[in-house]
A and B are shown apart, each in its own frame.
Chain A
Amino acid sequence: MTDAPRPIIQIQNVSKRFGKVTAVDNVSLDIMAGEFFVLLGPSGCGKTTLLRMIAGFELPTEGHILIDGQDMAGIPPNKRPVNMVFQSYAVFPHMSVADNVAYGLKIAGVRGGEVKDRVAEALELVKLGGFEDRMPDQMSGGQRQRVALARSLIMRPKVLLLDEPLSALDAKLRAQMQFELADLQDQVGITFVTVTHDQDEALSMASRIAVINKGDVAQLAGPSDLYEYPANRFVADFVGSVNIFEGKLTLDEPDRAAVDCPGLGRVYLNHGVTGPHGADVWVALRPEKIYLHVPGEGKAVRAAAQDAPEGHNFARGTIKGMSYLGDITLYDIELESGARLRVSRPNLSRHDQEDFTWDDKVSMHWRADSPVVLLG
């Protein structure tokens, strides 16, 4: 990113109401120049409305949106220095690829050789060189998306907005496009703002993510912070998969804490709890951060004792469900308390998935830096 971050989009106390429904509720956000910013949230959370307000297709009920310091109130979509890649791609079906890509330039009055050069350059950028004369119906969904990308990038916008850019692609292509989009953003240096409901997409591409819930920003953070330090139960649950247990804080010091969870047992953390809080909290524990051990629990107890007081960070249970996913195996474990715990285990060697099976008694431990205390 640039040395001195400069906000390219400033969203200031923006609300949008459709009749009685509040789609966006008093959101304030700064998006920095050169960022790959992702708005992540479940469907209907208001993230697309926010994007459409930046593009100018919806007007805020309250608040202001500034692009590069300029208030966008009263400026129609065709006069804004942003371009958008639509969810359906919206490639013009009656125009060739070259005509599609050149459309914005022609409207802007650019003529002659410059159009041709810039079209070729834009198509090269999205790896569609030589496709100039194709018609959209002769192309795959992935290729049409590249046309839509080229059509927007050729305008050299200050910000490129992408509405669910990968949702219509199959899994393999989606994974590939995640890398390509990130590369492309690096190459052109334009600020990207993407809307998605897919957490993998958000984590893999974004420099910063705003998780949106019910029209409000639930957390604004980088991908790893979002995953490892979720601010609340919604974020913990929406980003990745997680086990959440209710509990009472029994030890609360600046550098360590302990929570007594009726469901999970006693949890010890080697870091303090920040923020104003009472005794009632929640503990979040990611499935991949729990180690499974064969019965004869001595090993688990010893492992837990390495960085936690005795009797903490340790649990016993029975395997009630398994799903083998190739790279990992997911286990659904019934704890002695009756609560369920989800554990994932990498299959580091070929026969690892045979170590455990249904109804096996197992013991578990986790490290003291793994659990996260959630206050809301």
Chain B
Amino acid sequence: MAIFSRTPRAPLEYSRTLWMRLWVGAVMVFLYAPLVVLMIFSFNDSKRNVVWRGFTFKYYDKALGNDVLVEALVNSLTIAALATLISLILGAVAAVMLWRFRFPLKGAVDGTISLPIIVPEICMGVAFLIFFAKWLEWPTNLIWPFNLGAIIIAHITFCFPFVTMVVRSRLATFNREQEEAAKDLGAGEWAVFRDVLIPHMRPALIAGALLSFTLSLDDFVITYFTSGPDTITFPVKVYSMVRFSVTPEVNAASTLLILLTILLTAVALKLQGVKAIAETH
């Protein structure tokens, strides 16, 4: 399209065609318009979220002053952090086991390890409800953060298969000669794991951690079924607030959460470099 540039378009340079640009634009609007609207209306000086009545920060004050909301946010972040940490260890160990070793029932383990990803969340939620009520009665009066134990266990269950998947695909690209080179230079099994295998898995571990953290942070269904009467998480709290009315306070809290997620992702990407994470997929 001549209106964009003077040099002629090369055959595969689709990014310079008008229809491609319009399409990309439409996709971006479709993806991000709801989020942008949510963020804008968090500054709306109105009780109802329908008409723009001027700019204000007061709903941020209100959200941060809402003790229950803050408690829910802290709970959610704690759950996400612990669930991510444990999923990372479990997931990575499972991936290495499946990649490296032969053992009885390996096929069965391989086939069922990703089941939590495909089983509908509502089924998982009901299953956990029954599990914690009948089989492993989780005490309700524990001190923080042990009162979150049931939720954390549930979150680990659906997070760690994602870590396993990402780490396994990364391990498939491992050059076994590196392991042999390390051994040749005197390294034992543990040193090989620490010095060669873990550095190779690093981008996948970061990608897996990001996945786990975000999955855990915004999980509603499973958390709703496993949280006791005294524990509340951010998504569940927002849901209960929305049942009365969608106030800008909800918008403000959500905006803070979005910013927090973006920040954490940026830190993770910075730590590893975007390229290395992209390589794992």
A-side residues, CB < 8 A to B, are 55, 57, 76-79, 82-84, 86-88, 90, 92, 94-95, 103-104, 107-108, 148, 151-152, 155
Contact = CB atoms under 8 A, between A and B. Distances in A.
A86 B186 contact: no
B177 to A, nearest CB: 4
Contact of A94 (B183, B185, B191, B199): B199
- For the residues of A in contact with B, the DSSP-based class is mixed
A151 B181 CA distance: 10
B196 interface: yes
B175 interface: yes
Nearest to B189: A78
13 contacts: A55-B180, A57-B183, A76-B183, A78-B184, A78-B187, A79-B186, A82-B184, A86-B177, A86-B180, A103-B187, A107-B191, A148-B181, A155-B185
Contacts of A79: 186
A342 to B, nearest CB: 39
A304 B175 CA distance: 58
B99 to A, nearest CB: 18
B175 A90 contact: yes
A307 B153 CA distance: 93
Nearest to B176: A90
Contacts of A151: 181, 185
B184 A103 contact: no
B81 interface: no
Contacts of A88: 175, 177
A148 B188 CA distance: 19
A78 B182 CA distance: 8
Nearest to A57: B180
Nearest to A83: B184
B177 A107 contact: no
Given A55-B180, A84-B181, 6 more contacts: A78-B184, A94-B202, A103-B182, A103-B187, A103-B195, A107-B191
Nearest to A161: B184
Q: Which of A55, A77, A79, A155 has the most CB of B within 10 A?
A: A77
B195 A84 contact: no
Interface residues of B, number: 18
A78 B186 contact: yes
Contacts of B196: 92
Interface in B256-272: none
B195 A92 contact: yes
A108 B184 CA distance: 12
A19 B35 CA distance: 61
B186 A107 contact: yes
Interface string B185-226: 111100100011001101000000000000000000000000
Nearest to B202: A94
B178 interface: yes
B182, B183, B191: most-surrounded residue (chain A CB, <10 A): B183
B187 A107 contact: yes
Contacts of B182: 92, 103
B276 to A, nearest CB: 10
Interface in B153-187: 175, 177-178, 180-187
Contact of B180 (A77, A82, A107): A77
A322 B20 CA distance: 56
Interface-centre pick from B180, B181, B186, B199 (highest chain A CB count, 10 A) = B181
Nearest to B175: A88
Contacts of B180: 55, 57, 77, 84, 86, 90
Nearest to A109: B186
B216 to A, nearest CB: 28
Contacts of A148: 181
Nearest to B199: A94
Contacts of A87: 177
Contacts of B181: 84, 86, 90, 92, 148, 151
A108 B183 CA distance: 12
Given A92-B195, A92-B196, A94-B200, A103 B177 contact: no
Contacts of A55: 180, 184
A12 to B, nearest CB: 23
A323 B187 CA distance: 52
B185 A104 contact: yes
A255 B186 CA distance: 56
Contact of B183 (A77, A92, A152): A77
Contacts of A108: 186
Counting from the closest, the 10 A-B pairs by CB-CB distance are: A104-B185, A90-B181, A90-B177, A94-B199, A107-B186, A86-B177, A90-B178, A77-B183, A78-B183, A78-B186
A268 to B, nearest CB: 53
B277 to A, nearest CB: 15
Nearest to B181: A90
A104 B200 CA distance: 19
Nearest to B191: A107
A213 B186 CA distance: 32
Given A103-B195, A107-B191, A92 B178 contact: yes
A95 B182 CA distance: 12
Interface in B54-107: none
B273 to A, nearest CB: 12
Contacts of B178: 90, 92
